[in-house]
Amino acid sequence: MTERAILRLSDVHIGGFVRGVSFTLRPGGVVGIVGESGSGKTLTCRAALGILPDGFTVTSGRVELDGRDTATFSGRDWTALRGAVISAVFQDPASYLNPSLTVGTQIAEVLRVKLRLRRRAARDRAEALLASVRLPDVSGRYPHELSGGMLQRALIATAIAARPRVLIADEATTALDVTVQAEILDLLADLRDTTGLALVVVSHDLAVVAQLCDEVLVMRAGEVVEQGPVDEVLYHPRHEYTRLLIEEHESYGLDRFLAVHHAA
Ligand SMILES: Nc1ncnc2c1ncn2[C@@H]1O[C@H](COP(=O)(O)OP(=O)(O)OP(=O)(O)O)[C@@H](O)[C@H]1O
């Protein structure tokens, strides 16, 4: 893969909370971050999105987006880039959608603001986006009328509306039941294959990462304890902590997902 990096983190430190995270994401690439709760996965994502919580900053290292050092970005730069170059979906999709607007209207709004589409074009494109996440008939529906899996799809449609090059999925399937989770993972893989969307997939679930990612970072207490191609890290873990995670996940059917990954 020689295409230019779309997102590159180089030895990123966030106070004492994240210490030395590096990875390079190219178009169509998928990087996974796994690790226990509080290990710094979400802070790493937030650094890439320019939305660190108050009091947190990138204290050393670099975050580069599309070849540009994000340390030089103004608030306005970030506003322009979020959605259009880098976007994200998190757990609990309902909290990210406005309950008083229909799903179609919300996506159309993103399109009007980010792509400056006119009302009619935005509405048509919103419908097409919803169809692309296999929700052909929900444009006129309100969030409370949708199931958790449908909401997460609607949120993915919203997140990709302005054609970002990177999508961060932070525990995006965690709250969903296994079947719906598998459908969402398929959808993400589809988007990667058809549009070259690059993904950062954060999960405490190794099986999710095994299914989707090329490379994985294993984080513990703010540090990357192990990093490499998914097959290597999950089949031949070198670090004791990675071995523990794998053992814990055996009951979730990691083997099955590894088989899928290998067949692909
Ligand atoms: N908004 C915040 N305010 C205060 N401390 C925070 C905040 N966000 C993160 N932290 C601290 O940074 C550490 C890393 O948090 P982070 O959310 O990145 O972990 P995580 O690996 O994503 O965990 P989880 O899987 O539970 O989301 C936490 O243990 C916490 O101490």
Helix (H) / strand (E) containing 103: helix 103-114
Residues 170-192: tens digit of each pLDDT: 998 887 888 888 888 998 999 99
Q: From ligand 1's centre to the CA of 33, what distance in Å?
A: 14
How many CB atoms within 10 Å of residue 157?
26
Instruction: Tell which atom from ligand 1 comes closest to the C-alpha of 219.
Output: 21
Which range has highest mean pLDDT (1-5, 158-162, 253-257)? 158-162
Going from the Cα of 100 to the center of ligand 1, the distance in angstroms, rounded, reads 30
Is 263's pLDDT higher than 90?
Answer: no
What pLDDT does residue 252 have?
Answer: 56
Which is the closest atom of ligand 1 to the Cα of 204? Answer: 25
Which pLDDT does position 173 carry in this prediction? 87
- Average pLDDT, stretch 224-242? 94
161/179 Cα distance (integer angstroms) = 25
Percent of the chain with pLDDT over 90: 74
Which atom belonging to ligand 1 lies closest to the Cα atom of 46? 18
Predicted structure pTM score: 0.91
Burial of residue 53 (CB within 10 Å: 0-12, 13-18, 19+) is: exposed
| 154, pLDDT greater than 70 | yes
Which atom of ligand 1 is closest in space to residue 222's alpha carbon?
14
* Residue 255 pLDDT: 56
ipTM for this model: 0.92
Distance from the alpha carbon of residue 38 to the mean position of ligand 1, in angstroms: 5
- Answer with the residue of higher pLDDT: 255 or 90: 90
CA distance 91 to 148: 10
Q: 226 and 220 in contact (C-beta within 8 Å)?
A: no
Nearest residue by C-alpha to atom 29 in ligand 1: 38
Rounded CA separation 173/132 (Å): 18
Cα 42 to ligand 1 centre (Å): 7
